[in-house]
Structure 1
Amino acid sequence: MMLSRKSIDQAVSPFYEDWANVGHEIQSCFQRQAGDCRELIEHGYQIYEALRTTLDEMFGNTAPSPLNENERLEFVRNSKSAHAASRQLEQLFGELKKKIARIKIGYPAE
């Protein structure tokens, strides 16, 4: 498959839409002070991992990734603080989105 900006957007957009929904659910969970929000964070983590797999398939060893991604994902997996884990996951999604935008510049629009 020949990559273009459009094809990259089509591949990653569903993950960011899913994350937006889960991110809102996580925020609501914390606002309600509803016990443990870890299941939602785990869902967000799974979305991130699926996005990483897609990027690896598209770009191979040149796939974009945030700084210290593995250590930060390990923190999310093992964090005792659900709020800190959710913030870290939010930052990872945001940083990866910026890196994807930068890498798209090198591809044709269509």
Structure 2
Amino acid sequence: MTQFDKETLAPFFEEWEAIREDIAALYAGQDRQVIGIMTTAIEKYQELLEYGGQEPNERTGKIDYILLPLNGEERFEFVKAKIASHYAYVQLDALYTETKKKVARLAIRKR
């Protein structure tokens, strides 16, 4: 993606907002159905990252997702590895929030 358009990416964030409270309630009730919903939310976050594209990281020499926030790779791996934990939800919620802010910042910068 060459241009960061908040309107184009908005559906990813709207979908997360629509299910995040349900996920929190399922974790609170220790309902195992949460794993299926979290799996879908993780897949959607991965789609968002892929849509944003990648670029080389000059400092590490690796290719990073442009939209991934600070320490995002490690945090996202934690979410995927610990999906049954409430803390995975907390971390995924933070990743969505920080990515949304980064999209807004990049959209302004690309004007």
TM-score by length of 1: 0.78
Aligned equivalents of 2:2, 2:82: Cα separation in 1: 40
2:48 pairs with 1:51: yes
Give runs of aligned pairs for residues 6-21 of structure 1, distance below 5 A.
8-21=5-18
* Other-structure match for 1:83: 86
1:103 aligned residue? 106
Larger RCO, structures 1/2 (Cα 8 Å, 6+ apart): 1
Q: Report the CA distance between 1:92 and its aligned residue.
A: 0.5
Matched residue, 1:61: 55
**SS at 1:105's partner residue?**
helix
Q: Is contact 1:22–1:43 with CA below 8 Å preserved after alignment? A: no
Instruction: Give, in angstroms, the shift of residue 22 of structure 1.
Output: 1.9
In the aligned structure 1, how far is the partner of 2:97 from the partner of 2:39? 17
> Where does the alignment leave 5 or more consecutive residues of structure 1 unmatched?
none
Q: How many residues align?
A: 101
1:22 aligns with 2:2: no
Write the letter of the residue equivalent to 1:69: G
Describe the superposition over 1:57-86 as per-residue Cα deviations: whole angstroms up to 9, x where unpaired. xxx417232111111111111116420000
- Work out whether 1:71 is the aligned partner of 2:98: no
Q: Residues 82, 105 of structure 1: CA spacing in aligned structure 2 closer, same or farther, 3 A cutoff?
A: same
Q: CA distance change for structure 1 residues 2 and 93 in 2, over 3 Å: closer, same or farther?
A: closer
Deviation (angstroms), 1:21: 1.4
Question: Who is 1:94 aligned against?
Answer: 97
1:41 equivalent to 2:33? Answer: no
Q: Please identify which structure carries the higher strand content.
A: 2
- 8 Å CA contact 2:79, 2:89 repeated in 1: yes
% identical aligned pairs: 28
What is the alpha-carbon root mean square deviation over aligned residues? Answer: 2.2
